[in-house]
Amino acid sequence: MTLLERFHDHDIRALSRLITFVENREEGFRQLLGRLYPKTGGALRIGVTGPPGAGKSTLVNGLTKELLREGRTIGIIAVDPTSPFTGGALLGDRVRMNELPSDGRVFFRSMATRGATGGLAAATDNVAVLYDAYGFDFVLIETVGVGQVEMDIINACDVVVVVIVPESGDAIQMLKAGLTEIADVFCINKSDRPGAQRLAADLKYTLELRGSSQPAASTARFAHTLLPCAGHEHGHKPAVVQTEATTGKNVDALHRAIGEFIKRGHETSTFEQRRRQRLCAKITEILNVRFQSEFVNHVAGEQDILGEIDNIIAGQTNPYEVGDRLYRRFREQ
Ligand SMILES: Nc1nc2c(ncn2[C@@H]2O[C@H](COP(=O)(O)OP(=O)(O)OP(=O)(O)O)[C@@H](O)[C@H]2O)c(=O)[nH]1
Ligand SMILES: [Mg+2]
């Protein structure tokens, strides 16, 4: 049997091998993903994001158990679990994963920031495509919620769970950080700590005030993509759930809140719209990467840019002129 046949036959080791193949961007990885693409669309992607140490891994673990109880299968991607803030979390993740069954119903993979050539968001998406084609019901993606890359990962999810803790600040800060725009479900974890109740009330009040005046999440989510995708999502007000991930308290309520969002998402065209937008973003990204590498490799060349930087510092030119010149040379080639 070929590797691909074993993959289709639900051989978990074949899945693991193909992930490595795709992660290393080995010769032919794009063709492989292309061939598998028609088999995708069956898995729902749930993104879990939030500040370092908020309890995302513990919650993903708890949610996985809830989903398993429902008879679902789950592929997990932990993006950069070795955050510099909580160093050694990777080991913790491994320990937690050991609690999960090893009969193929769950598969776990972590993606390190280091060495992710071609972009972490793209690499994460590629693994999600493999999970989807493999036949998992759910893809759970854990990522630390800072920066554009993480936003790109989160935007590529069907459902976004934002995890915060009582120490995360007040609702106005959530609003400013754009969290209220991306959250489908808010999870206030570490609710055993003081301030959780107040934060929950504060957040609910703020979300209530915001009401439907908020532009559709899709507008904010995909503002950067090349191809405009019109579409309206249902005016959803994110649920606010308080959990205690370590004891498992209320993780079932979080699971229910996600379930309700999923139900509404299917009833309305939310998931359909998000999938379309995701594909727009994916195509834009493929073009960006190709143009960028073509430009940098074949035309500009590092030496050119280094020389131009000397010239800028010497006051002979400026970044705008240099950009224009390099671009023109590229076009005229
Ligand atoms: N008190 C309390 N501690 C918790 C709770 N949930 C998680 N923790 C603890 O918080 C720490 C971080 O938990 P993780 O699940 O690794 O958090 P994370 O968000 O995945 O962390 P990073 O991936 O490193 O950003 C661990 O020591 C957990 O045991 C909770 O509900 N209450
Ligand atoms: Mg973690």
Mean pLDDT of the chain: 85
DSSP state of 161: E
pLDDT 10s digits, 76-91: 999 865 555 544 445 5
Instruction: Tell which wins on pLDDT, 297 or 154.
Output: 154
Does the beta carbon of 252 sit less than 6 angstroms from any atom of ligand 1?
Answer: no
Does the beta carbon of 219 sit less than 6 angstroms from any atom of ligand 1?
Answer: no
Cα atoms in the Cβ-side hemisphere of radius 13 Å centred on 5: 2
Residue whose entry in the numeric block shows the structure tokens 């691909």: 4
Q: What are the residues whose beta carbons fall under 8 Å from the beta carbon of 306, sequence distance 6 or more?
A: none
Ligand 1 atom 23, closest CA: 81
pLDDT band, very low/low/confident/very high, at 314 (cuts 50, 70, 90) = very high
Q: What is the pTM of this model?
A: 0.86
pLDDT 10s digits, 15-54: 999 999 998 889 999 999 999 999 999 999 999 999 889 9
Closest CA to 246 of 33, 56, 3: 56
CA of 53 to the centre of ligand 1 (A): 5
Backbone CA torsion sign across 129, 222, 254, 110? positive
Does the beta carbon of 254 sit less than 6 angstroms from any atom of ligand 1?
Answer: no
pLDDT 10s digits, 116-136: 555 778 889 999 999 999 999
CB 33 within 8 A of CB 7: no
Does the beta carbon of 81 sit less than 6 angstroms from any atom of ligand 1?
Answer: yes
Q: Does pLDDT of 165 surpass 80?
A: yes
> Counting beta carbons within 10 angstroms of the beta carbon of residue 223, is it exposed (0 to 12), middle (13 to 18) or buried (19 or more)?
exposed
CA distance 133 to 329: 42
CA distance 157 to 98: 26
Q: Supply the pLDDT for residue 152.
A: 81
C-beta atoms surrounding 220 within 10 Å:
14
Q: How far is residue 145 CA from its own chain's centroid? A: 9
Instruction: Tell which wins on pLDDT, 300 or 141.
Output: 141
CA of 89 to the centre of ligand 1 (A): 9
pLDDT 10s digits, 210-264: 765 554 454 445 544 444 444 445 567 899 999 999 999 999 999 999 999 999 9
> Counting beta carbons within 10 angstroms of the beta carbon of residue 86, is it exposed (0 to 12), middle (13 to 18) or buried (19 or more)?
middle
What would the DSSP string read from start to end of 196-209?
Answer: HHHHHHHHHHHHHH
pLDDT band, very low/low/confident/very high, at 94 (cuts 50, 70, 90) = low
Q: What are the residues whose beta carbons fall under 8 Å from the beta carbon of 329, sequence distance 6 or more?
A: 299
